Amino acid sequence: MKPVNFTSIRGKTVIGLTGPIASGKSLALKYFIGAGAFGVSADTVTSELLTTPRIYHTISRKFSPDKIQTKGLLDKKKLAAEIFASPAKRKWLESLLHPEILRRIHSLIKESDKKLAVVEAPVLFEAGLAECFTFTVCLSAPAKTLEARALKRGWSRRQYLERVKAQLPAEEKCARADLTLDNSGGPAALAAKIRFICRFLKETAQGKKK
């Protein structure tokens, strides 16, 4: 199935925001929104889709209830542990969810009155979505910094490494991106870089109108 192309939405600049685990994608999305962009998280959309009856029942038929449920309800942590332990199961779930996620994001961007939209997509390159965006931005930080941030979230080192293994190496993500933002410093530094990007895009758009 051909991916939904966000660049087909007239009058919109759509940034694909990605980066390795714990690189600060959610924080960056927050700063883009604060600078006036419309922002949407693929992870948030995924969480919403998992509660829809059709998706929920399809997943329940695929996995043993005791492995993905707690008290009869879908347990996202258990589901994550199950799919990260099996590449085949992860690919099956991605093939189920990705088309739905893209259609939902496309609809949200189209409904927004903002000219600039930013989509936080952790597996943007892994899913082959680079061409769906006007351009892509990848956050970066030293490997030790990324691991320290992940462990601070409460993950075990094993959980962190399993998730890292399921994605492209950080260096490759950065190499594929149109723009790389270093996020090894503090939040204020990241916020300043994002404000600059938004200001530049706004001024460029105004220049084209003249």
How high is the mean pLDDT of the chain?
A: 91
Tokens of residue 146, six digits: 């990324």
Class of domain 6-203: alpha beta
Cα(194)–Cα(103) distance, integer angstroms: 27
Would you say the C-alpha torsion 79, 122, 33, 109 has a positive or negative sign?
A: negative
Helices (H), 112-156: 143-152
* Strand 73-74 with 69-70, pairing: antiparallel
* pLDDT 10s digits, 25-38: 999 999 999 999 99
* pLDDT 10s digits, 81-98: 888 888 899 899 999 999
Amino acid identity of residue 209, one-letter, is K
Res 46 pLDDT > 60: yes
How sure is the predictor about 65, in pLDDT bands with cuts at 50, 70 and 90?
confident
Give the pLDDT score at 126.
93
* pLDDT 10s digits, 102-127: 999 999 999 999 999 999 999 999 99
